[in-house]
Amino acid sequence: MPVTSPHHCLTFSFFLIPSLILITYFLAQFPNAPQRYSVHPSLASLGPETKAKDIYPEDFYTGGAYVSLPFGKVRYWLLGPVAGKKIVLIHGLSIPSLIWKDVAPALASRGYRILLYDLYGRGYSDAPEITYDASLYATQLALLMQHVKWPKAHVAGVSMGGGILAAFTSFFPDLVDSKVAFIAPTGLVESKDLSRTTKFMSSPFIQTVTSSAPFRVDGPIRGLQDSFEALGTSNRKILLIWGTADNTVPYKYAARMQELLQSELVTIQGGGHDLTVSHPETIISAFTRFSVQSSSPLLLLPNPETSTIFLIYHTWHSKEFTTVILLVR
C-alpha cells in the first residue's frame, strides 16, 4: 500500500487550491439567469358577472388604457383637456383609483389633465409576486409617466399614496413639478397607532415570511422619515389635508408632518380617513385654490393710515393671468 508523504500532500495542495480559486473566479464572471417571478392577473381576468366589476367596472373612467411594464400590466386613465395643468392622483392601500371618483372628474371638468392608475396588486393592474415597497411603487409611476410622455407633473396622494408620493419625489425629483398635495399620508405612523391587523402584517416576522416565495409583501409603507425631510427642503409648495376624526392615520401626525414639510395645512373638522369620498368638494376647492396660488407676493403695499398690507399675487389659470389682492391686518 503506497504511503503518501507530507511533501506529496503539500505539493498536491499547491496545485489544487489555486486551480479551484481560478475556476471559481471564472464561473463567478458569468451572470446568473434572471430570477423569474409569477404575475397574478388583475380584475380584468374575471368574468363580467363578478360583483366587483359592478362596483368598479373596467371603464369606470373614460380614457382608459393598459401598458405593459417590467413587473406587469398597469391600468391607467387620462382625463381632462390635453393642454391642461398635469396632475397625477395616487390612491392608497385598500381601494384602487375608485377612491378618486368624486374628485378626478371634477378636476378634469375644471380644465386639469388628470392621470389616474391602479397600483400593482390593486384593481385592474397586475400583481407581481415580488416585494411590495416604496421603490416598486415609485418605479411604477416613473415608467407610467414615461409611457404617457409627461416630463413632469404636480402629484397628489391619499393615505399610502401620500407615502408613495414622498418616496417618488425622493427617487425621481425631476418628474415632480413645483406643487404636491397629501391627504392624510402614511409613512410616519408608529406601531402603537396601527390597527391590530395592520400591526400584525407589519411585524418583522410576517414581513420576512411574506417577502419569500410563494408569498409577497402587500402592506402599509412606513419608515419614510428621510423622504419627507428631503421633500421639506426641496422648495416645493406643499398642501396637507387631514381630518380630525381620522382613526387610520390619526390627526396628531398632521402637526409633525407640517413641521417636516413646512406645508400649508387644511384641517377638516370631523373628517375621517375617507376624505375624498366624505368631503370631495372641500378637496376639490383646496386643490384648485392651491394650484393657482402664487408662491410669494409680487408686491407689498403698506397702508400707514389703517395698518393694512395689500399682498398682490399674479396667478396663471385657465390660460389667463389673474390678479389676487389679499388684505392682511
Any domain includes 30: no
Average pLDDT over the chain, rounded to whole?
A: 81
Pair (319, 200) in one structural domain? no
Q: How far apart are CA 272 and CA 241, in angstroms?
A: 11
- Enclosing domain of residue 309: 299-328
Q: How far apart are CA 61 and CA 19, in angstroms?
A: 65
How many helices and strands, by DSSP H and E, does the chain display? 11, 13
Any domain includes 130: yes
The residues near 81 (Cβ < 8 Å, ≥ 6 apart) are 108, 111, 113
In degrees, rounded to 5, the angle at the alpha carbon of residue 176 between the alpha carbons of residues 170 and 181 is 90
Any domain includes 6: no
Record the pTM: 0.77
Residues of the chain with pLDDT under 70: 1-16, 19-20, 22, 24-36, 191-220, 294-329
What integer pLDDT is reported at residue 281 of this predicted model? 96
What integer pLDDT is reported at residue 146 of this predicted model? 98
Pair (316, 188) in one structural domain? no
Pair (206, 315) in one structural domain? no
The enclosing domain of 281 has a CATH number of: 3.40.50.1820
Do residues 224 and 188 make contact, with C-beta atoms less than 8 angstroms apart? yes
Pair (219, 272) in one structural domain? yes
What integer pLDDT is reported at residue 188 of this predicted model? 87
Pair (128, 266) in one structural domain? yes
What integer pLDDT is reported at residue 221 of this predicted model? 72
Pair (167, 189) in one structural domain? yes
Q: How far apart are CA 257 and CA 231, in angstroms?
A: 11
Pair (304, 223) in one structural domain? no
